[in-house]
């Protein structure tokens, strides 16, 4: 588990690049009071620390008194944010619009009402062009305030126009709220449970979706309304393992940005997530050509200004691009080649440990474990699986389950039979407790138990029998999650042919390319 400091000042300082640190010191230098010199000293001390340790901080900096530290940290935090505010990317439309609102308030307080209204007109136009509906509403509210308090214009029906404009924006915001709530709740369900585990889950998700999907007219929807609508259908299809629905709506998600390229700068991370889900849809559907096309689009975006516009976009690009690169090796059956990515990924996980959520880290550990397992290095696979197994079980219970199942199979491959008897019981109990046992997994457990007593000449026929049984289950939607997380059939074929899993996957890939 990554070591994550909870001190917000320490996290902020560690998120700064060299230019931002230099600008902070230039920002406080003109003041140069005793208090400012002390916060620079505190800044430098925290910047040098690898992990936040208050006792060590005070020990090494005698001029900083314990009773002063809390106030100093609060003042330093505010000063850093103020310095960042001055140098922040001027292409950020949120910052531009917020600045314009500040100008409106200043002009209004000066009694310059007509100037305020002119700035508001420009603000509304910019907000509308960038789909920033909340700023449109703030502008209309301010405009109504000015028109109600002061005689500024003689335009006919101005009050009625502003009322209609306000009602229209409020209607859009209401629909955006309902759709974004639905998308978020569905995604939250997936993060906690993974895919639907049984017919009960299927039914519950369907009822929830149907009940919470608001009435809408697609032709009248704004950018954000469409975005959250497509996301809702995306998660709904993915949870239910309706991969065609998942693909269709991830494509709509990405196409929405292609229709309004300006929004790639405004909502870069949403575009990145859309590309990630589109690539994942092609991966799950085994659409190799389309997978590569979408991956090329993502790689080009990663090198663009918008892909590097801020730390958040940069980190999200790293996460999703490298998940896609690992998946490419899974498709091609080049697991050993994929291991070349591991050192860089590990380095970045360490660099971004204060920023990455645990879910992303778990996904990386599982995919790296699969690379090692597929290449035949079961011991290294077990090392990464233990990182998942030893983590607190509070999200992605499906990933926890399949990590344990792969962990069991890796020990089976190593011939650790004394340990296996305990592991079979332990993993079986865990998966049953998490309501994660499908017919396919029951068959795997039964086979491993039985295999201990089989003579060598009966083992291969037993592998073949299990493979045939699982192949018959592969098309069942409620069994699909077993095959999405772990290619058990490829493993069985590797045992039958006595070759590494990656060789089976490579052969399957080449056969598919010849068709």
Coil, helix or strand at residue 33 = coil
How confident is the model at residue 514, as a pLDDT? Answer: 75
- For residue 435, is it left (φ>0), alpha (ψ between -120 and 50) or beta? left
Rounded average pLDDT over 69-85: 92
Rounded average pLDDT over 422-449: 89
Average pLDDT score, the chain: 90
What is the radius of gyration, based on Cα positions, of the chain? 28
Q: State pLDDT tens for residues 458-504.
A: 999 999 999 999 999 887 776 777 788 889 999 999 999 999 999 99
145-149, 165-169, 239-243, 326-330: the lowest-pLDDT one: 145-149
How confident is the model at residue 32, as a pLDDT? Answer: 55
Query: C-alpha 258: how far from its chain's center?
Result: 21
Q: Residue 319 and residue 315: Cα distance in Å, rounded?
A: 6
Closest listed residue to residue 36, CA positions, set 83, 103, 106, 1: 83
Query: C-alpha 436: how far from its chain's center?
Result: 24
Q: Residue 484 and residue 506: Cα distance in Å, rounded?
A: 17
Confidence of residue 30 (pLDDT cuts 50, 70, 90): low
Confidence of residue 315 (pLDDT cuts 50, 70, 90): very high
Q: State pLDDT tens for residues 187-232.
A: 999 888 888 888 899 999 999 999 999 999 999 999 999 999 999 9
Over the range 158-173, which residues count as b (16 or more CB within 10 Å of their CB) and which as e?
eeeebeebbeebeebb
How confident is the model at residue 5, as a pLDDT? Answer: 54
Confidence of residue 31 (pLDDT cuts 50, 70, 90): low
Tokens 């550990």 appear where?
A: 365
Structure tokens that stand for 456 in this block: 């060598």
Residue % of the chain over a pLDDT of 90: 66
- For residue 131, is it left (φ>0), alpha (ψ between -120 and 50) or beta? left
395, pLDDT greater than 70: no
Closest listed residue to residue 36, CA positions, set 93, 94, 78, 7: 78
Specify whether the CB–CB gap between 195 and 241 falls below 8 A.
yes
51, pLDDT greater than 60: yes
Whole-prediction pTM value? 0.87
Specify whether the CB–CB gap between 473 and 440 falls below 8 A.
yes
Closest listed residue to residue 470, CA positions, set 449, 490, 499: 490
Domain boundaries, the chain: 8-87, 93-154
**What does DSSP assign to residue 479?**
G
Q: Residue 431 and residue 194: Cα distance in Å, rounded?
A: 13
Q: Residue 395 and residue 415: Cα distance in Å, rounded?
A: 31
Residue % of the chain over a pLDDT of 70: 95
Q: Residue 505 and residue 515: Cα distance in Å, rounded?
A: 16
How confident is the model at residue 196, as a pLDDT? Answer: 87
1, pLDDT greater than 60: no
Closest listed residue to residue 381, CA positions, set 422, 425, 438, 336: 336
Confidence of residue 154 (pLDDT cuts 50, 70, 90): very low
Specify whether the CB–CB gap between 328 and 295 falls below 8 A.
yes
2, pLDDT greater than 50: no
């Amino acid at each position: 588990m990554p070591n994550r400091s909870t001190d917000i000042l320490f996290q902020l300082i560690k998120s700064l690049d060299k230019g931002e640190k230099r600008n902070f010191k230039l920002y406080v230098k003109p003041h140069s009071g005793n208090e400012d010199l002390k916060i620079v000293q505190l800044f430098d001390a925290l910047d040098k620390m690898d992990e936040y340790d208050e006792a060590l901080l005070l020990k090494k900096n005698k001029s900083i008194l314990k009773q002063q530290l809390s106030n100093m940290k609060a003042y330093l935090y505010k000063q850093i944010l103020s310095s960042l505010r001055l140098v922040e990317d001027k292409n950020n439309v949120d910052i531009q619009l917020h600045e314009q609102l500040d100008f409106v308030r200043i002009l209004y307080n000066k009694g310059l009402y007509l100037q305020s209204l002119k700035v508001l007109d420009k603000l509304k136009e910019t907000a509308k062009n960038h789909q920033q509906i909340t700023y449109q509403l703030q502008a209309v509210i301010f405009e109504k305030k000015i028109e109600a308090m002061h005689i500024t214009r003689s335009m006919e029906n101005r009050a009625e126009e502003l009322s209609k404009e306000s009602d229209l924006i409020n209607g859009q915001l209401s629909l955006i709220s309902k759709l974004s709530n639905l998308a978020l709740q569905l995604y939250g369900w997936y993060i906690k449970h993974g895919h639907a585990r049984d017919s009960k889950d299927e039914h519950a998700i369907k009822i929830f979706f149907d009940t919470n999907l608001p009435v809408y007219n697609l032709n009248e929807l704004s950018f954000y309304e469409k975005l959250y609508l497509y996301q809702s259908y995306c998660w709904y299809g993915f949870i239910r393992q309706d991969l065609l629905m998942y693909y269709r709506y991830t494509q709509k998600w990405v196409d929405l940005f292609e229709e309004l390229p300006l929004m790639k700068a405004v909502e870069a991370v949403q575009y990145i997530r859309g590309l990630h889900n589109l690539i994942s849809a092609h991966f799950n559907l085994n659409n190799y050509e389309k997978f590569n096309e979408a991956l090329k689009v993502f790689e080009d975006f990663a090198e663009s200004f918008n892909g590097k516009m801020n730390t958040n976009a940069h980190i999200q690009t790293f996460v999703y691009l490298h998940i896609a690169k690992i998946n490419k090796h899974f498709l091609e059956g080049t697991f050993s080649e994929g291991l070349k990515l591991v050192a860089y990924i590990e380095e970045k996980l360490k660099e971004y440990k204060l920023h990455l959520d645990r879910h992303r880290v778990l996904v990386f550990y599982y995919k790296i474990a699969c690379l090692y397992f597929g290449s035949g290095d079961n011991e290294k696979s077990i090392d990464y699986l233990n990182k998942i197994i030893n983590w607190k079980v509070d999200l992605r219970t499906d990933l926890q389950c399949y990590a344990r199942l792969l962990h069991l199979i890796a020990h089976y491959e190593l011939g650790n039979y004394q340990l296996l008897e305990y592991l079979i019981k332990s993993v079986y109990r865990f998966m049953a407790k998490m309501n994660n046992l499908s017919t396919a997994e029951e068959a795997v457990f039964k086979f491993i138990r039985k295999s201990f007593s089989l003579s060598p000449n009966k083992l291969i026929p037993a592998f073949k029998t299990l493979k045939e049984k699982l192949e018959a289950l592969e098309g069942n939607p409620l069994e699909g999650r077993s095959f999405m997380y772990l290619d058990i059939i490829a493993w069985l074929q590797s045992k039958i042919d006595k070759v590494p899993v990656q060789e089976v996957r490579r052969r399957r890939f080449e056969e598919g390319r010849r068709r």
